[in-house]
Amino acid sequence: MTTQKVVVAAALGECVHVAGVMNFLRLAKAAGWRTVFLGPAVSVQDLLAAARREKADLVGVSYRLTPETGERLLGEFAEAASDLHAAGVRFAFGGTPPVAERARALGFFERIYDGGEPPEAVLAYLKGQPAEGAGEKDFPQTTVERIRWKSPFPILRHHFGLPTMEATLEGVAQIAEAQALDVISLGIDQDAQENFFHPEKQDPRRRGAGGVPVRSAEDYRALHEVSRRGNFPLLRTYSGTDDFIRLAEMYLETIHIAWAAIPLFWFNQMDGRGPWDLEGSLREHQRVMAWYGARGIPVELNEPHHWGMRDAPDVVFVVSAYLSAYNARAFSVQDYIAQMMFNSPPGLSDAMDLAKMLAILDLIAPLSRSGRGAGGEGNFRIWRQTRTGLLSFPLDPAAARAHLAASVYLQMALRPHIVHVVGHSEAHHAATAEDVIESCKLARRAIENALAGQPDMTADPKVQERRAELAAEARLTLDAIRSLAAPGAPDPLTDPVTLARAVTCGILDAPPTLNHRYIFEDIPMSLAPMASLGERYGVSVRGMDAIIRLACIVHRTDYWRRGRTLDKLGIHDLSVSELTRYVNKGVLE
């Protein structure tokens, strides 16, 4: 049996500042050490006596007062501890930057911290991982390994992509060197998502619109190459809106994609971001899920927040999250990343936001316990990922920073494995490398505060009541979707025909979607006959006509042909008086 290592730590001499010592010991405990805290103002003799008595493997020393006094005291300590040092006991120091500089000059301490280090760097040291001279092999290069290595801290992810390759390459290098995060999600422009393999369809006028204009596999290789520094972050990017498998093959070969992010119902004709119709895109998304699943690559379905950002009811948000996990499991995904975007829609209270996410976790947890992925029973693992709402950031920079920190602190109530940091600049401009680094620092501080002893916000009775209410409503909604399946249809919750019908009949609905019943029902059934009446009797209907034409273009459907025209109603040849009598009496004379 491996003997548990022991660390003894204290604030030395007359120093009474112990917050740093306690944080150090908290991290040591998380790394598996037995910790002994001696408290403030501990003499050199008492600290060393405790180190000998406890058979310490590591001694932590803190001093945060004047540098001159600290230098003298630390010199005395080093001399008195020389026998322990020679016997292999390790020593670490933490203090203010001026005192840390004096401590470094002594050449006695194995590791010196001045407060500017991220906690994960301290944790890595306590886990025995190298700091100086670390290479790619010292930083896990798969998502699951990185999560486990970073625990109890979540790994951090942030989108990054500027309008030119040159600026993006420089920014990726800067972010990696700063060791600000663990995963860089490459934000690529629309043509890179939809027309990467079809240069003839690319529009030079929108080059760089919405992200970095990657146009070749070499571009992706270059982005990966410049990230090989600092803490060697993982890379990932969008799954695209067409040519899904070809893109997946290239992502795996060029950037060693950390995980795939795939929608279920979106990024198609319904939202105008892809060429596929709803049913066709569902099939394609399921196919690419299976492709990644067969290769053991984690999959995230970036689905529920698209409903939330369109003001869908909370129950639709929850149901879409369940359908995402259910489909991932059905298509042999082994490591599923459950994304939960808070603040969507904006203005939702923290309590109700938290309840919504807890309802999601309640519904999807049984899928993990009864996993039926490629490896059999229990082979479906769920990793929690949280993020701040894209549309929730205020424009004021100070308020935006506060919003980011507050949102991340709330998210920590779910103890996420991944925190997707959204830049505080989101409401104003796409994040620069400096914005990414600053936003990650803000998020990291909120995470540290939460891990140091966050109260259990999930225990609020109002949260629990809403949590149960949403879960019950979601189960009813899922039953309604199942009822749509045709006789003999496969599993309704994975059947593209049934799932598409759940949207077109309005069970899954969000007012601002272009696939709303206000368009596909009201245009042909109400507006088309009214416009037909106006045209027949010489009344100007230019406004109605424009709306109908727009709907035809958006849905790629001839609503004049499908709609209730006067011909179909059998009243095209009626005069105004005859039509009036028909309306009043309900019979044709």
- Which residues 6+ apart lie within 8 Å of 466 measured at CB? 351, 352, 355, 356, 359
As given in the structure block, the two tokens for residue 407 are: 């949102």
Pair type for strands 372-373 and 376-377: antiparallel
Half-sphere exposure in the Cβ direction for 21 (13 Å, CA): 24
As given in the structure block, the two tokens for residue 119 are: 């906690």
Residue 313 CB-density burial (10 A; 0-12 exposed, 13-18 middle, 19+ buried): middle
Q: Are 106 and 78 in contact (CB under 8 A)?
A: yes
In three-state secondary structure terms, 128 is: coil
Write out the chain's pLDDT in tens, 589 residues: 568 999 999 999 999 999 889 989 988 998 899 999 999 999 999 999 999 999 999 999 999 999 999 999 999 999 999 999 999 999 999 999 999 999 999 999 999 999 888 887 888 889 887 666 678 888 999 999 999 988 889 999 999 999 999 999 999 999 999 999 999 999 999 889 889 999 999 888 889 888 999 999 999 999 999 999 999 999 999 999 999 999 999 999 999 999 999 999 999 888 888 889 999 999 999 999 999 999 999 999 999 999 988 888 999 999 999 999 999 999 999 999 999 999 988 888 999 999 999 999 999 999 997 554 333 345 899 999 999 998 899 999 999 999 999 999 999 999 999 999 999 998 889 899 999 999 999 999 999 999 988 999 999 999 999 999 999 999 999 999 999 999 988 899 999 999 999 999 889 987 766 666 667 778 888 888 888 888 888 888 887 887 888 788 767 778 888 788 778 778 878 888 888 887 787 776 6
CA 433 to chain centre: 18
- Which residues 6+ apart lie within 8 Å of 547 measured at CB? 523, 527
Rounded Cα gap, residues 59 and 109, in angstroms: 10
Least Cα distance to 264 among 299, 309, 293, 295 occurs for 299
Rounded Cα gap, residues 120 and 113, in angstroms: 13
The model's pTM: 0.80
Rounded Cα gap, residues 462 and 352, in angstroms: 8
Helix axes 119-126, 19-30, angle to 10 degrees: 50
pLDDT computed for residue 1 by the predictor? 53
pLDDT computed for residue 2 by the predictor? 65
Backbone dihedral region for residue 531 (phi beyond 0: left; psi -120 to 50: alpha; all else: beta): alpha
pLDDT computed for residue 89 by the predictor? 96
Rounded Cα gap, residues 160 and 174, in angstroms: 12
